[in-house]
Amino acid sequence: MTIPSVFTKVDSLQRVLHARNDNKKIALVPTMGALHHGHMELVRRAFELADLVVVSIFINPKQFNKEEDLEKYPKMLEKDLELLRKEGDVIVFNPEVSEIYPKNYEAMKLDLGPIATTMEGEFRPGHFDGVVMVVNRLFEIVLPDYALFGLKDFQQLTVINKLVKDKNISVEIIGIETVRETSGLASSSRNYRLSADQMEDAAVIYKALQTAKNEAEKSSIAELKLLVENMIGSSPLELEYFEIVDPVSLQSIDNWVENTQACIACICGGVRLIDNIQLT
């Protein structure tokens, strides 16, 4: 068998997992491909935790609220497999849409409440319903002991933790620190769409977050928001939102709380980039 082993069908994936299982622990790293350093960190951590590591590569149409965003999402399966090859005997699951959502598939419904209507939820309506749908489906297929997600998608991690808690799913969710390029820009599949100049421009996002962290508690939340808005405003980027939120409810706050979180979304050369930092 070639490494990594690539499965496109649920049945064949489950057969191999079942055959190899024999009380072995399974870790799942859900991805949409266009893998980068951040994903590789998730894979390495998955190997530390489990005997079998499944990396799903599936661009989930249900979580895109704009057709153009879905069409432009970078696709590079051969390169992805080459990167994974270096990490060991990864089991890749690369299904078609019809395999994940077969005809008559009844998607699980979950009321995500206010954590899913702010920030990403406000600017990408329905996004988290799509994320929850696919992640739940992947959990049903793989039955992992662990599932690993990057903390760059802080709100997504909160939503997935709610899914697991509310649906009583037996999986341990592990959030992994954001991996950054040397400029500080958070590693992201969307960075593949940036030119070299845009990559440099986009470094202002992390600079602004770090400035916010340095000024936190010395300033009011309103002053800090203005500071970041001005930093991004005087760069070539367009600010979609910068929110200072309670780390659990994800609602905007006016006064500092323990582990106050700042989340940001910007557009750089037509590419949407998100990041976050813990301020206190």
**What is the secondary structure of 229-266 as a DSSP string?**
HHHHHTSS-EEEEEEEE-TTT--B-SS--TT-EEEEEE
Between 30 and 95, name the residue whose CB sits nearer to ligand PAF: 30
Residues 6+ apart with CB under 8 A from 18: none
Residues 8-26 as b or e (16 or more Cβ within 10 Å = b): eebeebbebbeeeeeeeeb
Between 120 and 201, name the residue whose CB sits nearer to ligand PAF: 120
Residue 206 C-beta: closest distance to ligand PAF, Å: 19
∠ CA 183-187-192, rounded to 5°: 100
Residue 37 C-beta: closest distance to ligand PAF, Å: 14
Tokens at 125, concatenated: 């309506």
Q: Which residue's beta carbon is nearest to the bound ligand PAF?
A: 30
Residue 56 C-beta: closest distance to ligand PAF, Å: 7
Query: E-assigned strands of 154-260?
Result: 172-176, 238-245
∠ CA 72-33-50, rounded to 5°: 160
Question: Cα-flanking dihedrals φ and ψ of residue 104, to 5°?
Answer: 70, 10
Tokens at 124, concatenated: 């990408």
Query: Which spans of this chain sit near ligand PAF (rule: CB under 6 A)?
Result: 30-32, 60, 63, 131, 134-135, 153, 156
Residues 6+ apart with CB under 8 A from 41: 150, 176, 177, 179
Residue 208 C-beta: closest distance to ligand PAF, Å: 23
Between 139 and 242, name the residue whose CB sits nearer to ligand PAF: 139
Residue 237 C-beta: closest distance to ligand PAF, Å: 22
Between 32 and 202, name the residue whose CB sits nearer to ligand PAF: 32
Between 4 and 30, name the residue whose CB sits nearer to ligand PAF: 30
Tokens at 114, concatenated: 């206010």
Residues 6+ apart with CB under 8 A from 1: none
Residue 19 C-beta: closest distance to ligand PAF, Å: 26
In the three-class reduction of DSSP (H, G, I as helix; E, B as strand; rest coil), residue 1 is classed as coil
- Give the chain's count of helices (H) and strands (E): 11, 9
* Catalytic residue (choose from 18, 36, 37, 39): 39
The answer to whether 37 is a known catalytic residue is no
Between 105 and 210, name the residue whose CB sits nearer to ligand PAF: 105
Q: Could you give the residue numbers annotated as active site?
A: 39
